[in-house]
Structure 1
Amino acid sequence: MFQAMTAQAANPGGGIFSLIVPLVLMVAIFYFLMIRPQNKKQKQRNAMLSQLKKGDKIVTIGGLHGTIAEITDDVVVLRVNDVTKLTFDRNAISSAVSRETAE
């Protein structure tokens, strides 16, 4: 009986594959629930930033609403009202309001 117990203790649960399968499943779940959606959002944000043009209404990450007066590769000048213009980094733009919605 002692020999049967030591044989079970030496090989419990089927070996290394029983340890690898749950680890692979956790990595797959982590990828599909966290990494893939984040990459999708980042692609959408980069597409939105690349399509900005003069006259678009936008919202910054600080919540400031304005209209693009000038735009370069990495700097955006916003017209907040008739007099005030503010300069922001292009990455500080949170979202763009479509022209049809704004009008």
Structure 2
Amino acid sequence: MGQLGNILPLLLMFVVLYFFMIRPQQKRAKNEREFEGGLKVGDKIITKSGIHGKIVELSDSTLVIETMAGKLKMERSSISMELTATLSKKE
């Protein structure tokens, strides 16, 4: 009984840590991977640094976006938001 009383708080702390920190981070990472995989040529996007552009080329881990200043090659992970669906709903 004494051993269980010592281990129970440690187990409880691990369970709380898992549900409040580890699990939400895993969900966020999964959603980000799905978002990056769903990008396609022609999507209007915003990068994490705030650059607006349109995807003109895609490869495994990089993409080329066209901006008003020219074309930029970036990593897929640098894309923050996809605007094509949002813009088409407003019109």
TM-score, normalised to structure 1, is 0.78
For the residue of structure 1 that corresponds to 2:15, the secondary structure is helix
Q: CA deviation at 1:95?
A: 2.2
5 Å-filtered alignment, 1:60-79, equals 60-79=47-66
Aligned residues: CA RMSD: 1.3
Q: CA deviation at 1:91?
A: 1.6
The unaligned stretches of length 5 or more in structure 2 are none
In the alignment, what sits opposite 2:75?
Answer: 89
5 Å-filtered alignment, 1:31-70, equals 31-70=18-57
What whole-Å deviation, never above 9, does each CA across 1:11-67 have from its counterpart, x for those lacking one? xxx522111100000000000001111111111110010010001111212121111
Cα distance in 2 for partners of 1:50, 1:58 equals 14
Q: 1:100 to 1:93 in 2, by over 3 A?
A: closer
TM-score, normalised to structure 2, is 0.87
The unaligned stretches of length 5 or more in structure 1 are 1-13
Structure 1: 4+ residue segments shifted above 6 A: none
**Which has the higher mean CA deviation after the structures are superposed, 22-31 or 52-61?**
52-61
Report how many aligned residue pairs link the two structures: 88
Cα distance in 1 for partners of 2:52, 2:11 equals 45
In the alignment, what sits opposite 1:5?
Answer: none
For the residue of structure 1 that corresponds to 2:56, the secondary structure is strand
